[in-house]
Amino acid sequence: MTEVLNMQNISKSYYMGEEELEVLRKVNLQVNSGEFLSLLGPSGSGKSTMMNIIGCLDIPSSGKYLLSGNDIEDLDETELAFIRNKEIGFVFQSFQLLPRLSALQNVELPLIYAGLSSTERKERSLKMLDRVGLVDKTKNLPTQLSGGQQQRVAIARALVTEPTILLADEPTGALDQKTGAQVMELFEELNHDGRTIIMITHDIGIARHAKRVVNILDGQLSEQGVQ
Amino acid sequence: MLFESIKMSYENIVRNKLRSFLTMLGIVIGVASIIALITIVQGATNSISDQVTELGANKITVNVMGTPLKQGLNQEDMLNISEEENIKGVSPTISGKTGIIYEGKLMENVTVQGKNEVYFNMDTSLLKTGRSINILDLNSKNQVAIIGSDIIHELYFGVDPIGKDLVINGTSYTVVGTLNASSGFSMGSNNESVIIPYTTAMRSLGVKNISSLDVFLEDTSLADDTVTDLKGVLNPAFNYKENAYTIFNMGDMIESFESMMSMMSLLLAGIAAISLVVGGIGIMNMMLVSITERTMEIGLRKALGATPKRIQLQFVIESIFLSLVGGLIGLVLGGLIAYTAAAFIGIGFSLSIATILLAVGFSGLVGIVFGYMPARKASQLNPIDALRSL
């Protein structure tokens, strides 16, 4: 099994005025390809910071982070953007779809930044919308879709670049229980197809869908064990 | 990639129609006033210099003050000058003021000009009826006169003046021709003049030397060379004394007039350009508002892999797009204003390519300059903060 993510002694501090706030304390995490991992913790535990660092939106204060073998320590903004585009598929709690773009156009967005031609973008996006079961909604605007459908569009957008890791932040947080469960079902299916998923949540019920649960509390990780 | 950015800019501008329009208005007004001012001034310049050219851009005038020994030009000097290159002909002017009488009616203070055949040959529109001065008149110092329209009106009202007599300075002349009434510049008007052969005029007015000579050119563009040639003839004639004569080149005057007018149009355009700057600030303001509104979008795009450069390009293109569209509307509007004004004042209308390029280039530049700062700000947004702002 290939290692896709390796964090060694990752720390992250913020400065609140004079005061130093240590959000992550010497975190070690290793994720192999094909894993479905959930990062479980209450708010303020540092899980958002973990997500930002895993997603290369932020860089650690100290420690070593290898993503698909790339050391992200010395990368500049532009290089980080390329890494995000190629390696990470983001799924957010509130979907973050652009309201004026159709479902298809939303899914196409990351492919624009990957530099694909419009025909290739359309082809891949349609395929991905089909995969999440929304092939008949391609022209709909986000407002014309239900919450569950919107999250499916967001998942299609996250997966359309074939990223190394699907990184989901409270993916069911804005959904009712039933649609939330459907989204989790989709995650399980995707994982079954070999997709590596890291899901950040505070909900133990949701976290249980993952094969591996890692607790985060006060900036430190503790493994719950593989289910 | 560029196409995608342009498409996104277009969509965003169309989405906020009213706001985009109001933002563009500053640029529209700026460009419209630049175009209108330059075009109107240009039209006026062209009209005036056309009129001046009619007076004789193909002409160099030599005025002679003379020296104590030689007070003016003589026949030999004239001949020497007319033998130089690029000269179509020379026409002397002997000028004086005197009273004229026809059938007991007196007209005082009339300009009597002595000319030769060249004067009429160079501008065939001068003569209205009858004949002009010929070589025979000059050689024989014939007492013939060609009269201006005001003289006809005053002395020959209701009669055909051709063949009638006219007493000039006590001597009797025969009217052989009439001049067309000239409009336009008073300095060129012959309406109140009587023209007689210059040889006759020299005798009649008691003038021994020619003090003014019009030199007509074959090729106006060689005027400067001809001026040099003329000096080559005139300097020895006046024994190299300074200030013996002046050479007045009409082409030079037109040139300096035109450069003055183009300075003026630049000045006016410069003032109008200030409104473009104000328009640019409007665009910058709108871009900043737009970026604040779209913080989440920018954050998301960054998370999905948009590089800072890409975000910056997007917003700069949006700003250029706004100002260019504003510039084009301003171009049309300014053209219309200039066209209407030109028709109203009665001057020519011509919108030059240079003016169009200036306006379009300037508005594009405004877009770049005033879009740069907001775009840079957008590109530096931290995606985490941007995503959290929702």
User: Among A112-116, B189-193, B200-204, which range has the highest average pLDDT?
Assistant: A112-116
Give the closest of B15, B310, B383 to A113, CB-based: B310
B99 and B105 Cβ atoms separated by less than 8 Å: no
Structure tokens at B41: 């001034």
Is A95 touching B (CB cutoff 8 A)? no
pLDDT at B57: 67
Contacts of B310 in chain A (CB under 8 A): 81, 113
pLDDT at B235: 85
Question: B266-321, pLDDT tens digit by residue?
Answer: 888 788 888 888 889 989 998 999 899 888 889 999 999 999 999 999 999 999 99
B350 and B343 Cβ atoms separated by less than 8 Å: no
Q: What is d(CA B187, CA B168) in angstroms, rounded to the nearest whole number?
A: 23
CB-based contact A90 B1, cutoff 8 Å: no
Helix (H, G, I), strand (E, B) or coil at B28: helix
Give the closest of B11, B306, B383 to A113, CB-based: B306
Residue B390 has pLDDT above 60, yes or no: no
Return the closest-CA partner of residue B321 out of B352, B290, B355, B295: B290
The complex scores an ipTM of 0.92
Q: What is d(CA A73, CA A152) in angstroms, rounded to the nearest whole number?
A: 33
Average pLDDT over residues B233-242: 82
Mutual angle of helices B353-379 and B17-56, in 10-degree steps: 150
pLDDT at B15: 83
| Count of pairs with CB atoms under 8 A, one residue in A, one in B | 56
What is the pLDDT of chain B when averaged over all its residues?
A: 85
Portion of chain B with pLDDT greater than 90, in percent: 21
Question: A178-197, pLDDT tens digit by residue?
Answer: 999 999 999 999 999 999 99
Average pLDDT over residues B201-218: 84
CB-based contact B384 A82, cutoff 8 Å: no
Contacts of B1 in chain A (CB under 8 A): 112, 115
Structure tokens at A191: 């994982």
Contacts of B302 in chain A (CB under 8 A): 57, 81, 84
pLDDT at B186: 43
Q: How many domains does chain A have?
A: 1
Strand order of the sheet with strand A36-40?
A88-91, A165-169, A196-201, A36-40, A212-217, A220-226
Beta bridge partners of A201: A40
Residue-range domain boundaries for chain B: 2-52+255-388, 66-243
Average pLDDT over residues A26-55: 92
Question: B130-175, pLDDT tens digit by residue?
Answer: 898 988 898 888 999 999 988 888 888 888 889 989 998 888 999 9
pLDDT at B182: 73
pLDDT at B69: 76
CB-based contact A109 B302, cutoff 8 Å: no
pLDDT at B302: 93
pLDDT at B47: 82
Q: What is the CATH number of the domain that holds A177?
A: 3.40.50.300
Contacts of B8 in chain A (CB under 8 A): none
pLDDT at B384: 85
Q: What is d(CA A31, CA A7) in angstroms, rounded to the nearest whole number?
A: 9
Question: B335-387, pLDDT tens digit by residue?
Answer: 999 999 988 888 878 888 888 888 888 889 999 999 999 999 999 988 888 77
Question: A124-176, pLDDT tens digit by residue?
Answer: 999 999 999 999 999 999 999 999 999 999 999 999 999 999 999 999 988 99
